[in-house]
Structure 1
């Protein structure tokens, strides 16, 4: 019984990983322009610099005019490469953590938050070097034809600053904290709303699941936004005032509100 169920479980897991990887690729392609614009705004300080973006439309328009249409897809390769392994690790750790919580009779609403926290920590550790390269590329204002490719950028970062938290894994702690917070809030709110607010016979409804996913995603994004801003500042800047997560948050708050 066990031997026959194991191949079936492996096939099902493989299908989930392939489906998740395909969905992730589509998501990255659709969301990359928004991510580039978000990063450009996050690294802007309060300044009278004429090159400062004044709105989302202003940012998109000037990027296309000055850097070319495909500048909106700057830094797309790192998240594409990292997406499948990070999703596989995230859901594996989430399910394993739920099982571990259940094994010690920790099954309340906070068990889902704990499992999400664990999955986000692992996910953040996996993607940290990819995020470093992505952000570095996204903030460059050259035309795409003038930009070095992703591998050359990564090699240059390693050559100049090394593999550690001054180089390829710069912003590691901020990335881990950001993803841990996001997944804790996302999985905690999604499943708790699902189990507490929706009758069992309606829990498979696609429209309801979309609404739950949207709500959980919005709550998660709002919750981790300060850390995400700090992460972008740390990874994009060479300034010594942006080196650690919480001091960076305090600096931005003190100087920019």
Structure 2
């Protein structure tokens, strides 16, 4: 290939990569914003019954009771508490994980083949790897989101929230725990991300491959079916790790002692005090959110790629 041709090809690849990153970030922001109230409910449910948790009205409610309680006690804004760090997180997290997965998958596609030639086991491993990479980068934003979501329970008891906003939360955490405090819970966070993306990306990729194999066109119907299956798969895989992650990130150091020493300690204490099914607390709102989230994200992302003249995922 001539030098000018190589340069032109490289430029096109760079533009295509930039478009994919921008499309994945913008699609994730739309999906996150539209389903965020369900995430608030899920987080509050996961904190119910926690050892050392605040006593009061947020406990012993189901998903609908929790949502109604938030509206009654905190107003509509309570359902969007922590939205800014959640959106900021997905700008980094989703663009990195989607880009990493697709690029890693490319190494396993044989010449003359397409993505359907990659085995499901390989896709699961690639999904887990991509999830860990994206989550480690975005973990500080996830920490702030969980803390701000949990602050609503303080409002119920008439106590001031710990943080006034995103900037105040970041500076407060750094001042109290140091820069490393922004990565509190990064271990269980990364574990959850690995499981989520093992279930989500691999399931979407494989389900779409199967849908096309059964004669569906690479369009809305195939994308919808694949997104629904990926949402269910991601929820089943990730809910226990999500509960542990939420509790690890919400805890604050009390002197020199933490409620949980590590993610395993949190897992053991949760099962010991609340039973095995406590690891699936918030399953319904998690699934109820992941289903619509997956649909909005994947359909938006695939359509944006199509409109830009790029191949589908």
Q: Is the pair's TM-score, using the shorter chain for normalization, greater than 0.5?
A: yes
Which residue of structure 1 lines up, in the alignment, with residue 24 of structure 2? 20
When residues 187 and 149 of structure 1 are mapped into structure 2, their CA distance, relative to the original with a 3 A threshold, is closer
Structure 1 CA distance for aligned equivalents of residues 217 and 184 of structure 2: 41
Which residue of structure 1 lines up, in the alignment, with residue 176 of structure 2? 160
Residue ranges of structure 1 left out of the alignment (5+ in a row): none
Decide which of 246, 249, 264 is 1:232's aligned counterpart.
246
How much does 1:190 deviate? Answer: 2.2
Structure 1 CA distance for aligned equivalents of residues 145 and 25 of structure 2: 19
When residues 201 and 2 of structure 1 are mapped into structure 2, their CA distance, relative to the original with a 3 A threshold, is farther
Decide which of 172, 178, 183 is 2:197's aligned counterpart.
183
Moved more, 37-46 or 6-15: 6-15
Which residue of structure 2 lines up, in the alignment, with residue 133 of structure 1? 144
Could you list the runs of 4 or more consecutive aligned residues of structure 1 that deviate by over 6 angstroms after TM superposition?
none
Structure 2 CA distance for aligned equivalents of residues 76 and 148 of structure 1: 13
Contact residue 192 and residue 242 of structure 2 kept, 8 A: yes
TM-score, with structure 2 as normaliser: 0.73
- Secondary structure of residue in 2 paired with 1:168: helix
Which residue of structure 1 lines up, in the alignment, with residue 262 of structure 2? 244
Count of residues in correspondence between the two structures: 253
Residue ranges of structure 2 left out of the alignment (5+ in a row): 111-116, 276-313
Contact residue 124 and residue 178 of structure 1 kept, 8 A: no
Contact residue 182 and residue 223 of structure 1 kept, 8 A: yes
Q: Pairwise mapping of residues 3-152 of structure 1 onto structure 2 (< 5 A)? A: 3-45=7-49, 49-51=55-57, 52-102=59-109, 107-141=118-152, 142=155, 148-152=164-168
TM-score, with structure 1 as normaliser: 0.88
- Structure with more relative contact order (C-alpha pairs < 8 Å, separation 6 or more): 2
Contact residue 121 and residue 177 of structure 1 kept, 8 A: yes
How much does 1:29 deviate? Answer: 1.1
Contact residue 124 and residue 177 of structure 1 kept, 8 A: no
When residues 46 and 18 of structure 1 are mapped into structure 2, their CA distance, relative to the original with a 3 A threshold, is closer
Structure 2 CA distance for aligned equivalents of residues 193 and 59 of structure 1: 33
Which residue of structure 1 lines up, in the alignment, with residue 271 of structure 2? 253
How much does 1:35 deviate? Answer: 0.8
Contact residue 203 and residue 209 of structure 1 kept, 8 A: no
Moved more, 110-119 or 185-194: 185-194
Moved more, 85-94 or 193-202: 193-202
Moved more, 172-181 or 247-256: 247-256
When residues 118 and 223 of structure 1 are mapped into structure 2, their CA distance, relative to the original with a 3 A threshold, is same
Please report the RMSD computed on the Cα atoms of aligned residues, expressed in angstroms.
2.6
